[in-house]
Structure 1
Amino acid sequence: MDTGPVVVGVDGGPDSRRALTWAADYARTVDAPLIALTAFDVAPVFGPYAMSGSESPKKLEEQARKVLADTVRDTLGPEADVQQYVIRGHPAESIVAASNDARLVVVGCRGRGGFAGMLLGSVSQHVVPHAHCPVVVLPRQENA
């Protein structure tokens, strides 16, 4: 869909910051809305470990909101025109779902791994073959 938004996956790591910058530049160029998306997942815990200090979904969501807001502010500035969404679910599946209405999805090559369920490199590897729109995967920048 060439009239939809540009969606960028953000986890706060250096590759996602590069993806955010690239996506913002592209969105401006094509006059499209920019959506920055962070997803968090709650790992299932069973047995005697179920109550042993695992983070609550509310706490994980608050952390995800903070990471997203801080990353957008620090990368694009406090006045950036970016819609920010935090979704509970696996990051790759959340980005694929967001691609339904997007004109383009942008992700970094490797994730930060800062949230439960986010595996290094697995998000971009899953998004590319499953997205419903074109995908840009920015390569890792070794100096980052």
Structure 2
Amino acid sequence: MSGESRERGRIVVGVDGSESSEEALRWAVRQAELTDSTVDAVTAWEYPPLYGSIGWIDAPQELASDMKAAASQALDHAVKEAVAPEQQARIHSVLAYGTPAAVLLDQARGADLLVVGSRGHGGFAGALLGSVGQHCTQHAPCPVVVVRRQ
């Protein structure tokens, strides 16, 4: 490998603040260490439309900045909780507007691996795989690892 520079791999992991996503983040960091990769810890945020007398309308713009700030704090908290300080240099935090599945699939373009937890915050607690994980396993542009909570 004299004179050749090796490009580092990239692992994308979905982080929503759930215990399952924190476990996925820990797994992604361990895998990144083994493969000399970087980790993009991705959190999606959006504000829901409201239903009014004229139908579906956008929520007030003031809510957007509050929701974005809350998502950013949740991402920072998850990284601090799940990853040792000496490993955090490997992580790039990504905050993006959109639905979780769409944001993760977009961020996974060109990645070596997409990592998701088996269950997030929504849906049915008894389901084996959440809707975001299900969508990602079916449509991702790269291999997907679903990490189950221990």
TM-score bucket (shorter structure): 0.7 to 0.9
Q: Which amino acid aligns with 1:42?
A: Y
Q: Return the letter of the residue paired with 1:61.
A: K
- CA shift, 1:51, in A, is 9.3
Q: Root-mean-square deviation (CA), in Å?
A: 2.4
* Counterpart for residue 139 of structure 2: 130
Asked if structure 1 preserves the Cα contact closer than 8 Å seen for 2:10 and 2:39, the reply is: yes
Q: Does the Cα contact within 8 Å between 1:3 and 1:103 map onto a contact in 2?
A: no
Structure having the higher strand fraction is 2
Is 1:18 the counterpart of 2:27? The answer is no
- Given that 2:8 and 2:36 are in contact with CA atoms closer than 8 Å, whether structure 1 keeps it comes out as no
In the TM superposition, structure 1's runs of 4+ consecutive aligned residues that sit over 3 Å from their partners are 48-55
Would you say the 8 A contact 2:20–2:118 is kept in 1?
yes
CA displacement at 1:53 relative to structure 2: 8.5
The 5 Å alignment of 1:69-108 reads: 69-79=76-86, 80-81=88-89, 82-108=91-117
Corresponding position of 1:40: 45
- Residue 72 of structure 1: how far off its partner (Å): 0.2
Q: Which runs of 5+ in 2 are unaligned?
A: 1-6, 123-128
2:12 to 7, 12, 17: 7
Percent of aligned positions that are identical: 38
What is the CA distance between 1:75 and its match in structure 2?
1.0
TM-fit CA distance, 1:139: 2.0
Larger gyration radius, structure 1 or structure 2? 2
- The one of 40, 45, 65 equivalent to 1:58 is 65
Contact 1:38/1:91 (<8 A) preserved: yes
Matched, 1:112 2:121: yes
The two structures have a TM-score, normalised by structure 2, of: 0.80
Give the TM-score normalised by the residue count of structure 1: 0.83
2:109·2:142 contact (CA, 8 Å) conserved in 1? yes
Return the letter of the residue paired with 1:130. Answer: H
Aligned residues between the structures: 134
